[in-house]
Structure 1
Amino acid sequence: MQDLNISAPDSTVQTEIYAKFFHGLSNPTRFKIVEALLNREMNVSQLVEAVGASQSQVSNQLACLKWCGYVTSRQEGKYILYRISDERVRTILQLAKEIVADNAEHIRCRTRM
């Protein structure tokens, strides 16, 4: 794995990569998909039901999540099953939930982001 040294003079590009990675979770539907996949593999139909979004929305958001490295897929018969690509994603979400819990009131009151 390549170490992205964000303190290097060319850190603008690397900082943008980190920002795009975190942007992968900034959409509520993508966040719900990742949360649902923490428990088990699911196909698109199961994810549609779990997150309450349309099939096209779920499919589009899965493409983004795959591109950023949050999820991966495999084919089983006629179904494509999606799962979390790396257990560290679980850690990222757990840490985020802890930080949000500590700062929920400030975050809730924030009007511009």
Structure 2
Amino acid sequence: MTMNSTAGCLASSSPGSGVDAAVALFHSLSDRARLAIVRRLADGEARVADMVGELGLAQSTVSAHVACLRDCGLVVGRAQGRQVFYSLARPELLDMLAAAETLLAATGNAVALCPNYGIEHPPSPTDTSTDASRRNEVTR
């Protein structure tokens, strides 16, 4: 997959191949727990037990998400005795996270307010149940 410098969009050598890989990459980072793990590992290597305490997630949750990130090639493990220390596999991931933060700062609340993928807000007390249920249907 290459970056098209004139149009600024993602392009691939064959239709769908690069886009599919990008979809898989972004999907691997779309889960709140996985993104929290990646952000934690950006600060340095850690064991699952370390991340459990720091992130406030269950051990099984951290283990499952670390395995997913490892299977995607984003995280690697280094065995030391009976412990495994995890770290980011590619420094480019840090660049991508920095670019995402820059993009989020530039767009302000636009992404968070996206009706399809934005942050869901609970209905305010002044909303009627009909309006709230209609809004929930739109966000599904």
TM range (shorter): 0.7 to 0.9
Distance (whole Å) between structure 1 residues aligned to residue 76 and residue 31 of structure 2: 18
Residue 109, structure 1, aligned to residue 110, structure 2: no
Secondary structure, counterpart of 1:105 in structure 2: coil
Q: Please list the CA deviations of residues 14-51 of structure 1 after superposition, one character each: whole Å capped at 9, or x if unmatched.
A: 32122101111100100010010111110001011122
Q: Where does residue 126 of structure 2 map in the other structure?
A: none
Q: Which has the higher helix share?
A: 1
Secondary structure, counterpart of 1:109 in structure 2: coil
What TM-score do you get using the length of structure 1 for normalisation? 0.87
Moved over 4 A (4+): none
Residue 58, structure 1, aligned to residue 38, structure 2: no
Secondary structure, counterpart of 2:35 in structure 1: helix
Q: How does 1:12-91 map to 2 (within 5 A)?
A: 12-91=16-95
How many residue pairs are counted as aligned between the two chains? 109
Distance (whole Å) between structure 2 residues aligned to residue 50 and residue 24 of structure 1: 21
Could you list the runs of 5+ residues in structure 1 that have no partner in the other structure? none
Q: Which protein shows a greater Rg?
A: 2
The one-letter amino acid of 2:54's match is A
Distance (whole Å) between structure 2 residues aligned to residue 98 and residue 13 of structure 1: 27
Alpha-carbon contact 2:12-2:19 (below 8 Å) kept: no
Could you list the runs of 5+ residues in structure 2 that have no partner in the other structure? 3-10, 118-140
Alpha-carbon contact 2:74-2:89 (below 8 Å) kept: yes
* Percentage of matched positions with identical amino acids: 27
What TM-score do you get using the length of structure 2 for normalisation? 0.72
